Structure 1
């Protein structure tokens, strides 16, 4: 017989032994908790490291001087709040002075009204005495807002006046004051420019806007605009009328400069009318051509009354479509009453139709950017809040003002965001997990029970 010697514990010392063991165990547990709270380690194993801030975002945060304040005006939905907290926490890990606060408009309506927050919820980002507002949240969108807050210098935008153009100061439905007030918080400042009293466009002007003029320009005004364009100035031209209409603005010389003309008639889109819109001239564009200016837009653009553009390719410039209709559209020349249909025996032009274009020219002093749109209502006070019109308006101003880099921050799609299995793999997994493993466990239980009985 083999005897094992088991060390005996002195019963008198047992209480001291167990007390010491409890104290040591408690200290070890407290040390582990302390280390877990002090040291945070994260490992992102996803493709493209989509749970880690991109190098572009980290560079933006490190270059940002001063604190950042984020006010999330959101309802009580916990899932939305958790999503916001999760994303913002990544930014806080790089920039600790980024502050996040939540404001519930239901329990604190006074504060929400004071901030003029969107009733559907939005994030208000403040920094460097500027402000950005977001209705959607992703790393691309949030970092783009930070880059606008951190951009040095102001952008000067001149709206030509004196020809019954759209107002930038009025609260009238046709004015552009709402869209421009949002842009002003990001450093894009608009002013009126009368070329009769100012014979030249100030060299500090980053963008000139021709906003749907209804009266003819004087020859001296046209000469001033051409001189500005020959210097490489950027231009945004909005028109609801025929460019070559003798009773119109008479600025066809500028259109010839870029090879652009308007087609006769107003655009009708059958696909848009199928949605039951009130006006037959209203065009809803759900798909936009690929372009750096429109890549970040994910909402429909609504054009209340659009003109189609005719494009003549010119050497030395790159012309790309910004807005296009489908094949179910045409330029209507008849009276807009009753059932409006395409007349193939008339001079009406069938779709697809180009409603807006961008033009880039490489000049000695840099790249010149021009955008011409056959509609001026989309950015007006009445329609700027419809669909993606606000985003389109701001993107046009930002891109044309020379800040195209702020539109190119794109988060790459992750290939491991979903699990794709072929039928063979599905059958194999089903057999293993739904049949083989349960049978193995059941067989083991039967064998153990049989042996215990014996």
Structure 2
């Protein structure tokens, strides 16, 4: 019986320790933990009481009296570990082992952070310490960029600081530079980098979005709307305005660019003249034209673009090889060639998705002073089908429907070839020095980006990371905001394991209680037999 109690005392001590561990992990006393604490305590007390004489004899041995030396050695080891942690905390180094590089800054963020014109003060207000991920990302910026001055406070404990800095009561970060303040509530890379750009930028780019030709609304959150584009540009510091050009007498010089997204009705001659005059004075534009499937949807912009050496073909592009896997028609094209232009050269991945695109062609001999640069092109396996607009106009609705079913089918593909889907157009005007000195003339540069399809701007496709990048890059390049390019939001993959409370408790008990107890019991039994 005495031997059994000796064994029970050792086992009880281990069971009690495991019960304490479960309470610490779960932050509450559960029935299983209570059973371990009470049962282990009773077993340990019984074992000590039954073997009190042997314990006194054991403590009197010379080997036990040497215990203080062992404790001293353990203390020295702990001190060394403490010093190592102090050095590591002051010389922070991190290694990003996530498959999506969640804690590695993109080249665009690196460029923005290293070109800051001055020190940007960032006061992070994180009640209760905030999320670990958000704090780590802010700290990553502070460790990477010397001009990123980060201060983290708990507004509940530092009310005077929060009040003096003008911080809102909820969690977020205030970016301060000179007399400008930017407040963010999310700590994604795109949010932080955009805040750096907005707070240090000397001006706010103004964008006019044309309306009156069935263009999608900036507030339309349907799949065919462009609300996500509007939200993103606003977040990047653009001032957006929906404008009917027919009601304007001119386009003011303070308008950074004019955006025309997927019009489906003609522009008047007056509107085209207004736009042409604006561009002739160094204006900027981003134009996205859907395929022309109905003569009534002719916008008149095709003729306008031709004056700048750009031909928007009346066709639809298919690609039977390079397209989305779920698409059997080849209409969801994945362009395979990107140029070295600033818009397309630094995409995080060369993967875009175009739906219902039309080809664009650059003139072999563009007008004087005009330079046309292809941005994105299809693979050489793509082909074009031309829409017979004259016949479509004379067809009945039933005939028109049958015609398009044949047109969108896989037959009669024609000769495969590579087609341009995006072009960047630049026109420079160099004024003579004497005219510049006298104020009679000045140098300017017209910039225009043209895409053969508005699908990349619509909510259905815009959320695809690389469509997002090339479109935001286009707006920033056209507006002259070269310091900022699109940054794809990094998200964790879909490999998380979602468990309910019972499943989590089962894993905890198996890993912390049941399996360790089984191994300890076996170990004690083996030790006892050898003893």
Task: Please classify the TM superposition score into its range, dividing by the shorter chain length.
Answer: 0.5 to 0.7
| Alpha carbons 2:142, 2:150 under 8 Å: kept | no
Partner deviation per Cα, 1:165-220 (whole Å, 9 max, x = no partner): 22212223222122111221221121111122112112210010122222222221
Closer, same or farther in 2 for the Cα pair 1:98/1:330, shift >3 Å? farther
Alignment match, 2:466: 388
Shift of 1:33: 4.7
Kindly report the root-mean-square deviation, in angstroms, between the aligned alpha carbons of the 2 structures. 4.4
1:340 corresponds to 2:410: yes
Shift of 1:355: 0.4
Which of 224, 236, 242 is the matching residue for 1:186?
236
Alignment match, 2:445: 367
| Alpha carbons 1:239, 1:376 under 8 Å: kept | yes
1:310 corresponds to 2:358: no
1:90 corresponds to 2:143: yes
Which of 422, 429, 434 is the matching residue for 1:356?
422
Which of 201, 219, 226 is the matching residue for 2:269?
219
1:284 corresponds to 2:321: no
| Alpha carbons 1:292, 1:408 under 8 Å: kept | no
Closer, same or farther in 2 for the Cα pair 1:40/1:280, shift >3 Å? closer
Distance in structure 1 (CA, Å) of the matches to 2:357 and 2:173: 34
Closer, same or farther in 2 for the Cα pair 1:56/1:322, shift >3 Å? closer
Alignment match, 2:377: 324
| Higher alpha-carbon deviation: 217-226 or 357-366 | 357-366
TM-score of the superposed pair, with normalisation by structure 2: 0.55
Aligned residue pair count: 344
Which of 307, 319, 338 is the matching residue for 1:269?
319
Partner deviation per Cα, 1:205-238 (whole Å, 9 max, x = no partner): 0010122222222221111111111111001111
Shift of 1:403: 0.6
Distance in structure 2 (CA, Å) of the matches to 1:69 and 1:231: 44
Shift of 1:156: 0.5
Distance in structure 2 (CA, Å) of the matches to 1:276 and 1:34: 54
**Structure 1 gaps, min length 5:** 1-21, 44-49, 102-123, 410-454
5 Å-filtered alignment, 1:107-146, equals: 127=175, 128-129=181-182, 131=184, 146=196
Distance in structure 2 (CA, Å) of the matches to 1:150 and 1:173: 34
| Higher alpha-carbon deviation: 329-338 or 296-305 | 329-338
5 Å-filtered alignment, 1:8-47, equals: 33=83, 40=90
Shift of 1:396: 1.4
Structure with the largest fraction of helix:
2
Distance in structure 2 (CA, Å) of the matches to 1:284 and 1:39: 46
1:66 corresponds to 2:116: no
Closer, same or farther in 2 for the Cα pair 1:277/1:223, shift >3 Å? same
Shift of 1:281: 1.4
Alignment match, 2:164: none
Distance in structure 2 (CA, Å) of the matches to 1:183 and 1:398: 9
**Structure 2 gaps, min length 5:** 1-71, 94-103, 155-171, 176-180, 387-402, 431-442, 488-531
| Alpha carbons 2:291, 2:356 under 8 Å: kept | no
Shift of 1:66: 3.1
Distance in structure 1 (CA, Å) of the matches to 2:138 and 2:370: 46
